[in-house]
Amino acid sequence: MHIHKYEKIWLIFGISALVIFLVILGFGAFWQGTHPQSHGVTIDPENIEAHEAFQEDNLGLTKVGDDKYIVNIIASAFNYNLGTDEDGTPVKHIRIPKGATVLFQVTTPDVVHGFNVAGTNVNMMVEPGYISSLETELNKPGEYTIVCNEYCGVGHHMMYATLEVYE
């Protein structure tokens, strides 16, 4: 097959750039551990309370160590369950100090949802039967909107919470 000389140069340049790009992606993923979330941890969607993390008392924000937090969330149509406060009202706003390490664990008893701390890389699909989890460091102070970004039904756009990173 005949290939024009200039086209050869063009393809060699393009393919080399592509190889470098993929090596960088691979380096990030396998050596620096920046894979997207994929733990494959399963759960019975009809009995999520059987898992300790999703029992009513353990929902929402828990401090587990110096600058270490866990946030357990049940996503269901059309609500994020972050537990309740002392008065028994549902928590819709959580506060985390800047620089803390936070592990988000989310599951759903019903349909597919999204979990995105808007404007950050905390962006996960939440699917019945699986626990979605992602550990991150929150370094930029401010108020973030947690939005469901996968269609889950007529009330999809009313499914949100807020997260504040304070200094």
Partner 1 sequence: MGIAKLEDAKSSQSLPITKPESRLYMSFIHVAFISLLIGGLMGLLQTLVRSGKFELPWGIDYYQILTVHGVILGLVLTTYFIIGFHFALMGKTVGISEKQRKVTWLAFWVMVVGTIMTATTILLGEASVLYTFYAPLRAHPAFYIGLALVIIGSWVAGFVNWRQLYVWKKQNPGVKSPLAAFMVTINTLLWFIASLGVAAAVLIQFIPWSLGYAETINVLVSRTLFWYFGHPLVYFWLLPAYMAWYLVIPKIIGGKIFSDSLARMSFVLFLFFSIPVGFHHQLTEPGVDPTWKFIQVVLTFMVVIPSLMTAFSLFATFEITGRKKGYGGLFGWFKHLPWKDVRFLAPFIGMLAFIPGGAGGIINASHQMNAVVHNTIWVTGHFHLTVATTVILTFFGITYWLVPHLTGRKLTPQLNKLGIVQAIIWTVGMTIMSGAMHIVGLFGAPRRSSYSEYGGTEQASEWIGYQLAQAVGGTILFIGILLMIYIFVKLTFFAPKGEEEFPIAEEEEDAEPTPAFFENWKLWIAITIALILFAYTIPFVDIIQNSPPGSKPFDFPIGR
Q: Site residues for partner 1, window 74-113 (CB under 8 A)?
A: 77-78, 92, 110-112
Report, in Å, the least distance between residue 66 CB and partner 1: 27
Number of residues that bind partner 1 (CB under 8 A): 73
154 binds partner 1 (CB under 8 A): yes
Closest separation in Å from C-beta 126 to partner 1: 8
Q: How far is the C-alpha of 84 from the C-alpha of 82, rounded, in Å?
A: 7
Identify the residue among 16, 20, 38, 63 touching partner 1 (CB under 8 A): 38
Q: Measuring CA to CA, which residue among 49, 57, 52, 70 is closest to residue 133?
A: 70
- The sign of the CA dihedral 24, 25, 27, 28 is positive
Of 3 and 88, the one with the shorter C-beta distance to partner 1 is 3
Candidate residues 26, 56, 57, 141; the one interacting with partner 1 per rule CB under 8 A: 26
Shortest spacing between CB 41 and partner 1, in angstroms: 7
One-character DSSP codes across 134-166: EEEE--S-EEEEEE--S--STTGGG-EEEEEEE
Tokens linked to 128: 């019945």
- Distance, in Å, from the CA atom of 75 to the CA atom of 146, rounded to the nearest integer, reads 11
Site for partner 1 in 117-136 (CB under 8 A): 117-133
